[in-house]
Structure 1
Amino acid sequence: MNSPHMDYSLAPRASGPVSWLETLLVTGLAIGLGFWLTPEDPLQMHGSFPWPVLAPLLLGVRYGFVRGLFSAALLVAAVFVLRYWEREGYTELQPSFIVGVLVCGMLVGEVRDLWVRRLERLQMANEYRQYRLDEFTRAHQILRVSHDLLEQRVAGSDQSLRSSLLGLREKLRGMPVEGDALSELAEPIVAMLGQYGALRVAGLYRVDEAEKNVLHQPLAQIGVMGPLGTDDGLIKLCLQRGELVSVRQELIDSGNAAQFSSLQACIPLIDAEGRLLAILAVRQMPFFAFQDRTLSLLSLLAGHIADLLRRDPQVLQLPSADAQQFTLQLKRSLVDVEQHQLPAGLFAFEMTRTNDELARLMERSQRGLDLHLPVNNARDHRLLLVLLPLTSPEGAEGYLARIGLLLHEHFGHDCDLASLGVRVMSFNLEPGCDRNGLRNFLYNECGLNDQQVAV
Structure 2
Amino acid sequence: MSDDLFAREQPAQGSGSPGDAGEARSFLPPNLLGNLVVTKARPAVVLGETLFLPLLAFVLGYLWSPDDPLQLHGNFPWPWFAPVIVALRHGFVAGLGGSSILLFGWLWSNFGRFDEFPQVHFFAGLALVMLVAEFSSLWRARTRRAETLERYLEQRLQQLVHEHYLLRLSHDRLEQELISRPMSMRDALAVLHDIGSVSADQPPPAARLLNLLVQYCQLEVASIHPVRGDVVDEAAWASTGGLASLAADDPLVRQALVMQRLCHVGQRSLDQQDTQYLVAAPLLDLARETYGLLLVRKMPFFALQPENLQTIQLLLGYYTDGLSVQGLARSIVEAVPDCPPAFAFELRRMMNVRQTTGVASAVVVLEFAERAVQRGLAAQIEHLKRELDEMWLLEREGRQALAVLMPLAGKAATQGYLARLETWAAQKGSHSLADLGVFPHILTVDGDETLVLIARIEAVLHA
TM-score class normalised by the smaller sequence: 0.3 to 0.5
Which one has a bigger Cα radius of gyration?
2
Provide TM-score, normalisation by structure 2. Answer: 0.44
